């Protein structure tokens, strides 16, 4: 320790070349950083040669992006953002009369390059200009660039490793704390108000969403455990892999914290891009060999901030050896000959079910990368990467700052259905009278059309699985862990695009999410039941584009009492005014009798009064998010995709047969729903004649009890 202190004192008085002092001054560095670089320069000149020290300081300062002022505080960055946006606006006025998009954008591309940024990413020139003229667009990028430049300097100076700053530097930790405090203040100052007059701060809403670390951790563990149950049930093998980068990506040695001589000034983001490229090659090779896997990938930092991946995958037992071979091949494709590469670049462990759960292999990495807590809320224990004692929560906070600074995606699901459907179904839960009335309305709708009540629909079962947190059941219902996206039976359903709903850059926004739809039947469950507007505390409410995109449109009428519930979803989809009852019935293959229409209206009115319209009572041959119903039993789209069910051998066949038989009074076609309960021919609505409203409701209620 005395030797280190004596050297530090001596290095402060060692001479620094005048060109280095001028170079440091022009670099606009914070005073402490400038002194630290000068000290490191003296140390390298003393231990090695002046030429080595000159080369080091040149490379260090040249790695700082063009135009970055590391001394600027947040207020200065905001002023710079306003200035850049104003200059872009002036450029836009000059180029307004230029017809060609290419020449129209050239001055803007040159301006962004001069400032050290890529041009805004948008599909049309108007969107590119709109972003460049927005101070908020510049502000985000200025803050991000400065934080990364500061962290680069700290890595160069040796301030990021287990003996200095674990995972990230003290500067990055302080910046992340300021950012989170700024975000908390903003969320606390904003209120969301719905049509029922309920008011919540955005901070309160964030606490019950996936923004809450505890909720995010619980969801990840639920999904991982669900995959494990599937693997056990299907007799699949479990594998735990670790994938790391070549030596040139590692700035510091793990044992001593000394600089790695092979380091090529590649930082965490470079390492992540390298691993993504390796993974893309692995996935291509797996696909070529017909090998399928499913599971999760976790990205986390080494002690010096270099990225490595942990992966928990499940697969057919016969695929294990080939998957390992492919993974190892591409993991070692670059610099695989260097010392330690064979032992450290790729590691594989087989999951031994007799020794415990596969979830245990990855649970500690989930906790470490979120909040450092176990499922019971207790700290997960000391971070083993640290030199001294460091709690799991403190380590997780440093990992969070690291991931935020470098833009690292920490978790990724591989295989299985998309989690978006799962989350939407979990939003849509109804209990008690609400659920009973909705189910009654749906069953009654099928009954008056002569369709079998059948067992519980796939969508119903998926809703129950999501509500109960059974990821394994949810995956099974949607086709299993290997189901292709284009063959999923359920999909997130969006409203039709509203030409008047535009984002802050004037671009047409996609239709807002309404719920989840089952392709084969058109049945839908609504997950977004409220209309929200955003306001600052004490101010009048203003529309918020990401929550309420349908102000003064037909969509806002969803919860107005005078609208019959049967046609709500049709209006919600099409964006066109609802048709009167007589016009609507003329569009049907068979017009409903008055008692049937009344039965539907009564049941749906009860559901509407409960604010529980989550069953979309769709008719056939209606456009739904680019898909066109060709019949109650089949579905095809404009791209030629077709989903067949046991009800029909070609789109529309089942429905046409039903129309013909029902009109002739011969009951439903028995090919409607293979495996479900059939109705006798005399039970069709046409054959019953004047069965009456009471009998229809009684039958629907009895079916409801049966399913």
Q: Which position among 365, 442, 584, 618 bears the catalytic label?
A: 365
Instruction: Pull the structure tokens for residue 246.
Output: 């070549």
Max Cα separation, the chain? Answer: 106
Q: Which position among 23, 111, 163, 361 bears the catalytic label?
A: 361
Q: Which residues, 6 or more positions from 2, have their beta carbon under 8 angstroms from its beta carbon?
A: none
Nearest CA to 320 out of 390, 434, 231 is that of: 231
Lay out the sheet containing 627-629: strands in order across: 623-624, 627-629, 635-637, 642-643
Kindly report the three-state secondary structure assignment for every residue of 492-539: EEECCCCCCCECCCCCECCCCEEEEEECCCCCEEECCCCCEEEEECCC
- C-beta separation of 529 from 195 below 8 A: no
Gap between the Cα atoms of 82 and 138, Å rounded:
8
Gap between the Cα atoms of 487 and 188, Å rounded:
42
Instruction: Pull the structure tokens for residue 580.
Output: 């009167």
Instruction: Pull the structure tokens for residue 21.
Output: 């002092």
Lay out the sheet containing 294-301: strands in order across: 346-350, 237-243, 307-315, 294-301, 411-414
Gap between the Cα atoms of 368 and 298, Å rounded:
10
Gap between the Cα atoms of 4 and 108, Å rounded:
52
Catalytic residue flag (residue 267):
no
Residue 39, CB half-sphere, CA atoms under 13 Å: how many? 16
Catalytic residue flag (residue 365):
yes
User: Which helix H or strand E contains 237, and what residues bound it?
Assistant: strand 237-243
Active site residues: 361, 365
């Amino acid at each position: 320790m005395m030797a280190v202190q004596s050297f530090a004192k001596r290095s402060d008085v060692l001479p620094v070349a005048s060109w280095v002092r001028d170079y440091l001054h022009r670099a606009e560095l914070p005073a402490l950083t400038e002194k630290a670089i000068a000290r490191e320069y003296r140390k390298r000149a003393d231990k090695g040669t002046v030429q080595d020290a000159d080369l080091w300081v040149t490379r260090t300062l040249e790695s700082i992006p063009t135009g970055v002022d590391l001394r600027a505080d947040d207020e200065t960055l905001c002023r710079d953002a306003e200035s850049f946006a104003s200059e872009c606006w002036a450029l836009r006025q000059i180029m307004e009369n230029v017809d060609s998009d290419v020449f129209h954008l050239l001055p803007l591309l040159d301006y962004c390059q001069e400032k050290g940024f890529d041009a805004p990413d948008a599909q049309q020139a108007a969107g590119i200009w709109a972003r460049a003229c927005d101070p908020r667009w510049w502000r985000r990028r200025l803050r991000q660039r400065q934080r990364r430049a500061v962290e680069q300097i700290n890595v160069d100076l040796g301030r990021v490793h287990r003996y200095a700053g674990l995972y990230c530097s003290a500067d990055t930790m302080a910046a992340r704390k300021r950012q989170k405090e700024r975000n908390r203040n903003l969320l606390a100052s904003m209120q969301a108000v719905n049509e029922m007059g309920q008011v919540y701060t955005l901070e309160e809403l964030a606490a019950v969403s996936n923004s809450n670390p505890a909720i995010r951790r619980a969801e990840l563990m639920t999904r991982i455990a669900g995959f494990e149950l599937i693997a056990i049930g299907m007799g699949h093998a479990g594998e735990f892999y670790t994938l790391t980068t070549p030596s040139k990506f590692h700035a510091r040695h793990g044992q001593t914290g000394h600089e790695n001589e092979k380091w090529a000034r590649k930082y965490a983001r470079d390492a992540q891009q390298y691993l993504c490229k390796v993974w893309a090659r692995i996935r291509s090779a797996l696909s070529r060999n017909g090998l399928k896997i499913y599971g999760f990938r976790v990205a986390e930092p080494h002690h010096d901030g270099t990225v490595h991946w942990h992966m928990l995958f499940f697969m057919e037992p016969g695929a294990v050896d080939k998957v390992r071979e492919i993974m190892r091949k591409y993991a070692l494709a670059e610099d695989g000959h260097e010392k330690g590469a064979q032992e450290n670049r790729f590691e594989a462990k087989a999951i031994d079910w007799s020794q415990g759960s596969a979830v245990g292999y990855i649970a500690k990495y989930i906790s470490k990368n979120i909040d450092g807590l176990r499922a019971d809320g207790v700290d997960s224990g000391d971070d083993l990467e640290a030199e001294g004692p460091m709690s799991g929560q403190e380590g997780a906070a440093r990992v969070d700052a690291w991931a935020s600074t470098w833009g690292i995606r920490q978790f990724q699901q591989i295989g299985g259905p998309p989690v978006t459907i799962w989350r939407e179904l979990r939003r849509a839960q109804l209990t008690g009278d609400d659920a009973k009335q909705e189910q009654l309305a749906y069953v009654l709708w099928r009954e008056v059309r002569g369709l079998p009540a059948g067992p519980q629909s796939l969508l119903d079962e998926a809703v129950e699985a999501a509500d109960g947190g059974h990821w394994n059941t949810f995956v099974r219902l949607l086709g299993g862990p290997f189901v292709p996206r284009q063959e999923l039976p359920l999909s997130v359903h969006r409203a039709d695009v509203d030409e008047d709903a535009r984002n802050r850059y004037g671009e047409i926004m996609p239709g807002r999410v309404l719920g989840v739809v089952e392709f084969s039947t058109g049945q839908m469950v609504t997950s977004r039941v409220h209309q929200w507007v955003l306001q600052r505390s004490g101010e009048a409410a203003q529309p918020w584009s990401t929550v309420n995109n349908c102000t003064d449109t037909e969509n806002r009428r969803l919860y107005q009492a005078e609208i019959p519930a049967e046609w709500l979803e049709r209006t919600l989809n099409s964006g066109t005014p609802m048709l009167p009852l007589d016009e609507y019935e003329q569009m049907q293959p068979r017009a409903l009798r008055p008692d049937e229409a009344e039965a539907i209206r009564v049941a749906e009115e009860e559901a509407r009064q409960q604010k529980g319209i989550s069953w979309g009572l769709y008719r056939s041959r209606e456009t739904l998010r680019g898909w066109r119903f060709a019949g109650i039993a089949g579905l095809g789209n404009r791209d030629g995709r077709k989903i067949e069910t046991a009800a029909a051998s070609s789109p529309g066949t089942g429905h046409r047969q039903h129309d013909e038989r029902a009109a002739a009074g011969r009951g439903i076609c028995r090919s409607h729903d293979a495996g479900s309960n059939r109705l006798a021919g005399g039970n069709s609505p046409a054959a019953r004649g004047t069965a009456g409203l009471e009998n229809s409701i009684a039958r629907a209620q009895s079916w409801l009890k049966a399913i």
